[in-house]
């Protein structure tokens, strides 16, 4: 027995040594793996880019305000959390009309608003937002992305260190809320109406008094008589604002904004600092929100209008033909004068006009012809 024990001792020692080596190797590998994981986590934390997004709208306001929130969510998801966008409503960091300057100067990396708010800085901006009696939403998007509009838009904003992107559309808006009935062009004379952009210029030419103010001030201003009328967006937003509580008459069609393009404006330095894949994500998310917002308005407007009329007793009216004709003539004059006053506006107007004539002719025998046909009903008794 003692002899056998002596013979087995070297084998036992070898086994113990092997076990010790394996244990040490496992500990080393585990430690290396944990160190690598910690290092990777630190690297990922360092790679996260955070942006501030400032808007002209109240935070989370239906349609307009939710667009930026949806954009931030999509960017976060598509980037795997590498680019995080914090959204601030109008007035939280900068005033609603301070968005353009804030992004231009790098106070925020990105903003959301409407170009006609800064026509004092960029006169041509109205062509990339809304021209009275101009493009519908689909037509505006087509001009932007396949007719040269986006390239001109970016040329116009380049001196301000900004890259614009289409960022939503409400579709054809309403003509607005009025505290008195409009029966003829005489009823517009001296009427104080909140109406921004080129629409405001046209309204003034037709005898009214155009006023510009943020959306958050509309209810009180209409209620207290600071203004006699206001346009905002359409039934979906107007119901949320409670404008039916302070005005009796609701007019259509929205001649002033038939297809208003909202915008994301990105600080050029911040955008160029992104890797190529994140740049593509920002542009892709903006393009998605541009369509998503239009879908939301199309889905929500009719239900809201039904509630305004049937529940709240709003008086829905169509603008008289003589008012529409007078506004259209004033719009033609205002657009031509704008184009003559600024080289960039002239360039945008030339491109806009060429595309407008072509798409209008086609839609006359496509979209418009179909809607007219859809509305045809057989005469009684047929």
| pLDDT tens string 42-57 | 344 458 999 999 999 9
pLDDT category of residue 161 using cuts at 50, 70 and 90: very high
Is 99's pLDDT higher than 50?
yes
Q: What is the mean pLDDT of residues 13-30?
A: 55
pLDDT category of residue 249 using cuts at 50, 70 and 90: very high
| pLDDT tens string 171-227 | 999 999 999 999 999 999 999 999 998 999 999 999 999 999 888 899 999 999 999
Cβ contact 89:59 at 8 Å: yes
pLDDT for residue 60: 87
pLDDT for residue 2: 42
- For domain 176-256+315-375, give the fold: D-Maltodextrin-Binding Protein; domain 2 (3.40.190)
Q: Where are the domains of the chain?
A: 48-169+260-297, 176-256+315-375
Cβ contact 111:55 at 8 Å: yes
Is 9's pLDDT higher than 70?
no
Tokens of 174: 């309403």
pLDDT for residue 380: 81
Q: Give the per-residue SS3 of the chain.
A: CHHHHHHHHHHHHHHHHHHHHHHHHHHHHHHHHHHHHHHHHHHHHHHCEEEEEEECCCCCCCCCCHHHHHHHHHHHHHCCCCEEEEEECCCCCCCHHHHHHHHHCCCCCEEEEEHHHHCCCCHHHHHHCCCCCCCCHHHHHHHHHHCCHHHHHHHHHHHHCEEEEEEEECCCCCCEEECCCCCCHHHHCCCEEECCHHHHHHHHHCCCEEECCCHHHHHHHHHHCCCCEECCCCHHHHHHHCHHHCCCEEEECCCCCCCCEEEEEEEHHHHHCCCHHHHHHHHHHHHHHHHHHHHHHHHHHHHHHHHHHHCCCCEEEECCHHHHHHHHHHHHHHHHHHHHHCHHHHHHHHHHHHHHHHHHHHHHCCHHHHHHHHHCCCCCCC
Q: What is the mean pLDDT of residues 11-33?
A: 55
Cβ contact 206:213 at 8 Å: no
pLDDT category of residue 279 using cuts at 50, 70 and 90: very high
Q: What is the mean pLDDT of residues 264-284?
A: 98
Tokens of 255: 């001649």
**C-alpha distances in Å from residue 374, one per residue of 70, 73, 193, 209, 367:** 35, 39, 35, 39, 10
| pLDDT tens string 100-109 | 999 999 999 9
pLDDT for residue 40: 46
| pLDDT tens string 289-340 | 999 999 999 999 999 999 999 999 999 999 999 999 999 999 999 999 999 9
Q: What is the mean pLDDT of residues 119-140?
A: 97
- The residue count of the chain comes to 382
Q: Report how far residue 124's alpha carbon sits from residue 121's, in angstroms, rounded to the nearest whole number.
A: 9
Is 32's pLDDT higher than 80?
no
Is 349's pLDDT higher than 80?
yes
CATH architecture of 48-169+260-297: 3-Layer(aba) Sandwich (3.40)
Greater model confidence, 292 or 34? 292
pLDDT for residue 16: 52
């Amino acid at each position: 027995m003692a002899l056998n024990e002596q013979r087995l001792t070297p084998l036992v020692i070898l086994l113990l040594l092997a076990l010790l080596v394996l244990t040490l190797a496992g500990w080393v590998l585990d430690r290396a793996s944990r160190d690598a994981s910690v290092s990777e986590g630190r690297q990922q934390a360092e790679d996260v880019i955070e942006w501030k997004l400032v808007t002209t709208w109240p935070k989370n306001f239906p349609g307009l305000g939710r667009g930026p929130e949806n954009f931030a969510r999509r960017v976060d998801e598509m980037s795997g959390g590498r680019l995080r966008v914090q959204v601030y409503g109008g007035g939280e960091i900068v005033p609603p009309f301070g968005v353009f300057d804030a992004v231009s100067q790098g106070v925020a990396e990105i903003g959301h608003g409407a170009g006609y708010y800064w026509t004092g800085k960029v006169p041509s901006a109205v062509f990339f937002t809304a021209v009275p009696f101009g493009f519908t939403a689909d037509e505006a998007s087509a001009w932007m992305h396949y007719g040269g509009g986006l390239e001109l838009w970016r040329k116009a904003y380049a001196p301000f260190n900004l890259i614009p992107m289409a960022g939503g559309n409400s579709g054809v808006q309403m003509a607005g809320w009025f505290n008195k009935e409009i029966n003829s062009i005489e009823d517009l004379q001296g009427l104080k109406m909140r109406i921004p952009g080129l629409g405001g210029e046209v309204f003034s030419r037709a005898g009214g008094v155009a006023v510009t103010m943020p959306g958050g001030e509309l209810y009180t201003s209409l209620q207290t008589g600071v203004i006699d009328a206001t346009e905002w967006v359409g039934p979906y937003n107007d119901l949320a604002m409670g404008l039916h509580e302070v005005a009796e008459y609701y007019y259509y069609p929205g001649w002033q904004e038939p297809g208003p393009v909202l915008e994301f404006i990105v600080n050029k330095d911040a955008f160029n600092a992104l890797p190529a894949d994140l740049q593509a994500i920002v542009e892709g998310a903006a393009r998605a929100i541009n369509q998503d917002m239009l879908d939301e308005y199309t889905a929500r407007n009719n239900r809201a209008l039904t509630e305004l009329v049937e529940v709240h007793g709003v008086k829905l009216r169509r603008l008289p033909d003589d008012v529409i004709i007078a506004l259209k003539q004033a719009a033609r004059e205002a657009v031509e004068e704008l184009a003559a006053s600024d080289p960039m506006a002239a360039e945008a107007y030339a491109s806009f006009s060429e595309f407008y004539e072509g798409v209008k002719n086609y839609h006359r025998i496509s979209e418009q012809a179909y809607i007219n046909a859809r509305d045809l009903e057989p005469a009684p008794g047929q």
